[in-house]
Amino acid sequence: MQTLHERDTDLSVIIPVYNLENYLTPILITLKDQDTAYYNVEIIFVLNNCTDESEKVIRLSGIDCTIMNCDIQGCGPARNAALEVARGEYVWFIDGDDCLLSTTAFRDVLDRMKRDGLSIIRIPFASEKFRWPYFSMVWQYVMRRDFIGDVRFPNYQPAEDDAFMDTLLGKAGYDRWNYMDMPSMDAPLYFYNYLREGSNMYRCTILGEKI
């Protein structure tokens, strides 16, 4: 019998979703177009108390994926719930309102990590409105599942990524000041949809809400 950590999936892509029906199309298209070649990739969407048609949009896309629910509000709990069922040797947390910039992103990242024996790699990104990388944007990293271990996101938001990435960067010998020195992919593979209306970042930065 296989134990929890004996996995036959190369990569788990974890995507929390909260009322994104109008923003999912770019990520769904780039996921569907991925050429994974010889790799086995699982995609896990976590519906986080959605009150719109996000689930319907995902299902109509035809993507081979797992759709699960998390009743605890916030990206952190949603990601934690997916980690408990993820089978991948590696994990990439992606936001549902962003997208990938290459149809071979998954394959290229896995090739590099397996070739160089990496536990964590940084993913360069592009954005129309955001120019300065910040250490805790979790989609900037792909990590080995056993490197994450029992580290989990806290149940508060925003800034739930800070505690998670502070811990994991420390395990890798980096911190929030030198994390860009870690191995990285050569070209941007990810597009960050910064300050999308309705996002936590928008609500904090533009509206000044405490979430």
What whole-number distance in Å separates Cα of residue 11 and Cα of residue 9? 6
Helix (H) or strand (E) holding 41: strand 41-47
Residue 118 lies in a domain: yes
- Three-class SS state of 146: helix
pLDDT at position 2 over 70: no
Q: What are 171's two structure tokens?
A: 């395990």
pTM, to two decimals: 0.88
pLDDT at position 11 over 90: yes
What whole-number distance in Å separates Cα of residue 59 and Cα of residue 55? 6
pLDDT of res. 8: 87
Residue 211 lies in a domain: no
Residue whose C-alpha is closest to residue 161's, from 141, 177, 183: 141
Residue 62 lies in a domain: yes
Report CA 38 to chain centroid distance, whole Å: 22
Q: Which domain holds residue 156?
A: 9-205
pLDDT of res. 196: 47
- % of the chain surpassing 70 pLDDT: 89
Per-residue pLDDT reduced to its tens digit, 81-139: 999 999 999 999 999 999 999 999 999 999 999 999 999 999 999 998 887 889 999 99
| Omega cis (within 30) before 158 | yes
pLDDT of res. 195: 53
pLDDT of res. 203: 33
Helix residue ranges, H only, 33-103? 54-61, 75-85
pLDDT of res. 194: 76
Average pLDDT, the chain: 89
Q: Please tell me what DSSP assigns to residue 115.
A: H
How many domains, the chain? 1
pLDDT at position 51 over 70: yes
Q: What are 177's two structure tokens?
A: 């000041």
Identify any residues that bridge with 98 across adjacent strands, giving them in sequence order.
Answer: none
What is the number of other CB atoms lying within 10 angstroms of the CB of residue 16?
Answer: 24
Residue 120 lies in a domain: yes
Residue 210 lies in a domain: no
Residue 189's alpha-carbon distances to 106, 118, 192, in angstroms, are 9, 18, 10
Residue 187 lies in a domain: yes
Helix (H) or strand (E) holding 143: strand 141-144
Residue 107 lies in a domain: yes
Give the domain CATH number at 57: 3.90.550.10
What is the number of other CB atoms lying within 10 angstroms of the CB of residue 164?
Answer: 21
pLDDT of res. 197: 52
**CA atoms within 13 A of residue 111's CA, in its CB half-sphere:** 11
Residue 2 lies in a domain: no
